[in-house]
């Protein structure tokens, strides 16, 4: 049986795994599903439409599946929040459920959310991301695998942040930030995340060389976005990481509104 503190309120229609732990003052609404090995500390609120996978640790005062902060949202609509496995959510994390009927805000597995971080409605945060204190992901935005959002970083709605991106603290992005790059200031990019690339277990030395060439074509060749993409397409020997960089650029080139946004701009390192 789940271990539920006597001061917690758990709706009879919620489904909790047998080894779930629910701490003092928690509120779990109808239709919530919580998988094995999850531990909810004090005063966690899990609202309807939310599913947690296995092994999630949820610290005090988190709110999952709250109504989207969207003036157009109809509370009668059925929308969802789906969270994967083995995530850590520190104090005060908030993640909204989707605003579009039938859709879900989606959080991957093995992510780490520090104090006061937030993801808005219909956002997607992929596996192994880290959101540092006060960072916020806007509605319909996507954060790629193993990206790191530093303190108080803001991601505008409908913006894409590529995999293994590293951002400067107190920076903001309404332009798409390519994979493996380092973002800074407002919509700036200052180079490749070389440390992150070296540490990535699935990226070889040859992959790093190819990603560096892709970055050069995009930002240092003087080519237009379309011409740089054509040059990337000519590199038929590229492996998966450089290939994913290329496909990110292709998605930006072919995007339709409201995802039709520029790429982050190159800036000099200070």
Distance CA 7, CA 148 (A): 36
176 is catalytic: no
Instruction: Indicate which residue of 59, 85, 122, 207 is catalytic.
Output: 122
Q: Is 256 left (phi over 0), alpha (psi -120 to 50) or beta?
A: beta
Distance CA 180, CA 165 (A): 5
Distance CA 26, CA 108 (A): 23
Distance CA 244, CA 267 (A): 23
DSSP 171-188: -EESSBB-TTEEEETBTE
Instruction: Indicate which residue of 139, 151, 188, 196 is catalytic.
Output: 139
Do 229 and 252 meet the contact criterion of CB atoms below 8 Å apart? no
144 is catalytic: no
Distance CA 119, CA 107 (A): 9
122 is catalytic: yes
Q: Which residue has the tokens 């603290």?
A: 169
Contacts of 97 (CB under 8 A, 6+ apart): 47, 49, 50, 65, 66, 67, 68, 79, 80, 81, 104, 105, 121
Do 131 and 152 meet the contact criterion of CB atoms below 8 Å apart? no
Do 91 and 117 meet the contact criterion of CB atoms below 8 Å apart? no
Q: In what order do the strands lie in the sheet with 112-113?
A: 3-4, 21-22, 39-40, 57-58, 88-89, 112-113, 130-131, 148-149, 166-167, 181-184, 188-192, 265-266
Instruction: Indicate which residue of 43, 118, 121, 126 is catalytic.
Output: 121
β-pair partners for 17: none
Catalytic center residues: 121-122, 139
């Amino acid at each position: 049986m789940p271990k539920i503190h006597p001061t917690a309120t758990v709706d009879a229609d919620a489904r909790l795994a047998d080894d779930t732990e629910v701490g003092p003052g928690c509120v779990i609404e109808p239709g919530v599903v919580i998988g094995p090995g999850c531990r909810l500390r004090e005063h966690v609120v899990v609202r309807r439409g939310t599913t947690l996978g296995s092994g999630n640790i949820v610290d005090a005062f988190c709110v999952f599946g709250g109504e989207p902060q969207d003036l157009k949202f109809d509370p009668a609509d059925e929308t969802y929040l789906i969270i994967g496995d083995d995530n850590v959510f520190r104090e005060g994390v908030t993640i909204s459920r989707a605003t579009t009927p039938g859709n879900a805000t989606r959080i991957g597995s093995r992510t780490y959310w520090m104090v006061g971080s937030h993801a808005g409605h219909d956002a997607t945060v992929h596996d192994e991301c880290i959101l540092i204190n006060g960072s916020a992901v806007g509605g319909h935005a996507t954060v790629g695998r193993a990206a790191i959002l530093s303190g108080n970083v803001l991601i505008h709605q409908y913006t894409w942040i590529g995999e293994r991106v590293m951002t400067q603290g107190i920076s903001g992005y309404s332009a798409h930030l390519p994979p493996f790059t380092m973002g800074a200031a407002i919509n700036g990019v200052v180079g490749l995340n070389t440390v992150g690339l070296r540490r990535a277990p699935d990226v070889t030395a040859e992959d790093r060389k190819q990603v560096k060439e892709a970055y050069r074509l995009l930002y240092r060749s003087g080519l237009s976005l379309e011409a740089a993409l054509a040059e990337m397409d000519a590199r038929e020997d590229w492996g998966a990481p450089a290939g994913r960089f290329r496909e990110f650029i292709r998605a930006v080139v072919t995007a339709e509104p409201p995802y039709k946004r520029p790429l982050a701009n190159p800036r000099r390192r200070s």
